[in-house]
Amino acid sequence: MPDADRPPAAAELVQRVCDWFPGAARDLPWRRPGTGAWPVMVSEFMLQQTPVARVLEPWRQWVERWPEPSALAADPVSEAIRAWGRLGYPRRAVRLHAAAVAITEHHGGVVPTDHDELLALPGVGGYTAAAVLSFAHRQRHVVLDTNVRRVLARTLDGRAHPDRSPTVAERRQAAALLPDDPARAAAWAASSMELGALVCTARSPACPRCPVADLCRWRALGHPAWDGPPRRGQTWQGTDRQCRGRLLAVLRDAVGTVPSAELLAAWPDRTQASRALAGLVADGLAVEDDHGVGLPGGGTGEAP
């Protein structure tokens, strides 16, 4: 068991987790050899705040229909919203469509391999840019998702969970841990992410199966409970998110526009429905005119 007052050696931690990965990793389609940057990028958009199991089939359908950014860019954004279905957080579909348009118009239809160019695309933040370049191009970048952050918080800092948002110190710590070799750094990114997803989970960590259990400070300290702000799960029933989803489902299934009064009647609370509709319009997920409400770029004929 490690010294509870000292974090494990970086090289040993990275080595063990990378060695563990090949025999334990899930067979996810966007990880398979030969998968290009666009399918990887689609997976990263879909996986934001969404479990892998819910993403597998929508991802397959998406990349079959739109195997390249130019194919998606050629269709109206309404088709992207419809294809997004019930994945949740549908603004991601609008942003992914906008990114496809930008890639087509400014990058010859090829997902950029330069970090700054990728970061400039709609909907692409620091994590997504690093993940796409790491997983698709084996570049050296710090990839900090929730799973990786939890692994580092426990093994290095002895805390049950990381802070709500990455801190400067946390990013520096992750950068210091990153192997110098780009291919090794990419392997570490994938391996540490998988360890957090399968073993070092938030609620039921499987410490006996962990390849670095004997290096983990959190384990050495006796698994101290989280003493930070309460970690509340997201509610759904009766929320504005559920209301937005109900209204958007009506719009996805409609041919053309839906009269505003008919759309608002799809939710029992008229005030909440009006607020949700205003949010959908503001987010570019719906357009409203004198004829009613429809999806952007399809239904009313207006652009988002």
Among candidate residues 133, 144, 157, 234, the one with its CA nearest the CA of residue 196: 144
Whether 12 is catalytic is: no
Catalytic residue among 44, 79, 194, 288: 44
Helices (H), 141-181: 146-157, 168-177
Q: Which helix (H) or strand (E) holds 198?
A: helix 182-198
CA angle 175, 102, 249 (to 5 degrees): 95
Distances (CA, A) of 198 to 109, 203, 225: 35, 11, 20
Helix axis angle, 146-157 relative to 182-198, nearest 10°?
90
DSSP 8-state code for residue 125: -
| Active site members | 44
